[in-house]
Structure 1
Amino acid sequence: MSEYQYYEFLALDRPLDEEQVRQVRALSTRADITATRFVNEYHWGDFKGDPTKLVEELYDAHLYYANWGSRRLLLRLPAGSLTAKEATKYAMDDALSVWTRSGHTLLDFSVSSEDGGEWEFETSYTLSAFVGLRAELAAGDLRPLYVAWLAGLTVWELAEDDEANYAREIEPPVPAGLASLTGPQRALADFLGVDADLLAAAAEGSGPATADVVDRTALAAFIAALPAADKDALLVEAALSTASPGPRLLAHYRAATIVPGPRGGTGRRTAAELLDTAYRRRTDRSRREKVAQAAAEQARARAAAEAREARLDKLAENTEQAWREVDDLIGRKNASAYDAAVVLLGDLRALEARTGGTADFDRRAGELRLAHRGKPSLMQRFDGMGIPSS
């Protein structure tokens, strides 16, 4: 298989200036580069730049995947929108790394080639599928981080790690709404290869999703009650930052008004408990699928048997016409006609077998075999259906 790599960068909060565009252009002559986007596909060779450095200094999002299985999504947010301390609760070596640089929090969602398996190109991605995660995270929706933690747990399970590690690892705070992920969150789960049964098991400990529609009156009352110093800080941020302070304010509002889910800060599950629950769900689902498949096969068999019985009833109305049709089909001397003749002969034999014997059919079929013994292709078909030689 030939090599394939996809690189994409987006500048979302502020476009690159002319000097920065020239700087990026020096890294790739074939890439599609604008003040807000860089994209290139590599079928040979490699990207000359350092994606991590580019996001730390210029871009707000980066997407990478290769056909040997490596996948990476790198997001940069203003530190005031999401602190590294909050995000680090969900960090796991195999799926999510967190650090800060120049007043930003950087989130590195990644799966290595050994963990990710071969890429399926029937489903490809662009950054447009993921950029909504930045606004969700800035507004206090931490589901993307928990999804990344589950991705790390999926890697552990596939690697059959030491079970003692599973018992020691405690899940991070469980955000609400794991059972109803947003489009970008579903894309992230798919991109990182999160096991569907593990996600469903995790959702059992998650409360209902926060309503997307904010009560304007309640929000206004919340803002009015904020201390003057907090309001001043938000205005300063709005004046100095290219990122809107709105998501951060919504995050504060939701944190202050939403009732925590059933597993807010205590009673969190171990990795072992989650993996055991996922295994039970997977086993139950597999059993249900097998039962449904068996029922469907039985239904198809009954329908086929009923259709054949109806066909035989129709055939019984004029069997001599059917024998003449067999002669006509054989006379055409081609493979499709031979196949049709054999099917019709099978029906004639089954029709006679209804009365308890096939002696007359065997006699007439044997005469056919004798009359057409010079047609080897037809003889092979007669052998296949067991028509005896005369």
Structure 2
Amino acid sequence: MKNFDFRNPTHILFGKGRIADLKDQVPADAKVLVIYGGGSAERTGVLAQVREALAGRTIVEFGGIEPNPRFATALKAVEMIGKEDITFLLAVGGGSVIDATKFIAAAALYDGDPWEILTTHGAVVKGAMPFGSVLTLPATASEMNAGSVITNAEKGAKLPFMSAHCYPAFSVLDPEVTYTLPPRQIANGVADAFVHIIEQYLTYPAAAQVQDGFAETLLRTLIDLGPKALETPKDYDIRANLMWTATLALNGLIGAGVPQDWASHMIGHEITALNDTDHARTLAVVLPSLMNDQRGPKREKLLQYAANVWDIRTGSDDERIDAAIEATRGFFESMGIKTRLGDYDVAASGIDHIVAALKDHGMTALGEHGAITPDDARRILEAAQ
């Protein structure tokens, strides 16, 4: 196991009716900017619960955060913070809204060009405004980590950043607010969480038995409960377990002291930047192809994954690896997520664009060994057609 530091300062308030507890988390004298996405937060009554919980405080609302949060939209919120003398931010939504809020919190205190926050992957961030979140879509674990991904449509770029200043002070997780989510969003959330775990687990052995065992349990939970969540959308226990699994998938715990990959994410980001395909669906396209392409370097962990996650224990090594990859693809398909580039209208010219974008954004040494080049990414994408 590698040396590591682990610290997660986010206070989680989990369970039914916890939105009411916002009154005890947001400072009484705060002027709050409530940040949300489209109309679903209003239609489902989540915003009404937030307003009720924050009665007596001064609240300003900023809606319109996109599913792949836009740089330009976030800057409008930063401008509003200055005009309204905002002192606290509250994200109400899924990972995209929380990601945008992290960027807004950092950009509001940054003296330079806010684009530098993304091009330096957060290295220039020296502080951020305080903020919390009310999670409505379990998927990204942005509610309990310090990372964010922002899309600049004008530049055709989707870039991640991370800063220790960008942990939410608190996050409210009420599984009941997920009951009304469309099946597509539930499926995307399960796939996103699944690949988050894989990126931290499916690398090479690091003698990290606790992290591996934890990751395998989370993966099996998603495989078991993902389809059930689509069949019985108002089963509280299923939704509660999915919500907590998605949070644990990327709150830093299973990634402590182990090598990590993230190539599927970096390649997937460029697909989204190209044609706005749902982030989770880009991962479902890239991951099976990458697993097959990198079966040599990942051999030991692929065999462990086959045995401990899918209970595939017979056949030759290559047969077991093949079966595990097909099981992974089959899982995504069972959730209604297509796993081929052609399903998302990405042709050969699109692959050329994606590979060029990887080079432009410095994504030239990806994977746990830093050995996946843009040429390797081309091969992975061509195999995913």
| TM-based fold match above 0.5 | no
Higher relative contact order (CA 8 A, sep 6+): 2
* TM interval, short-chain normalised: under 0.3
> Which structure: larger Rg?
1
TM-score (norm 2): 0.28
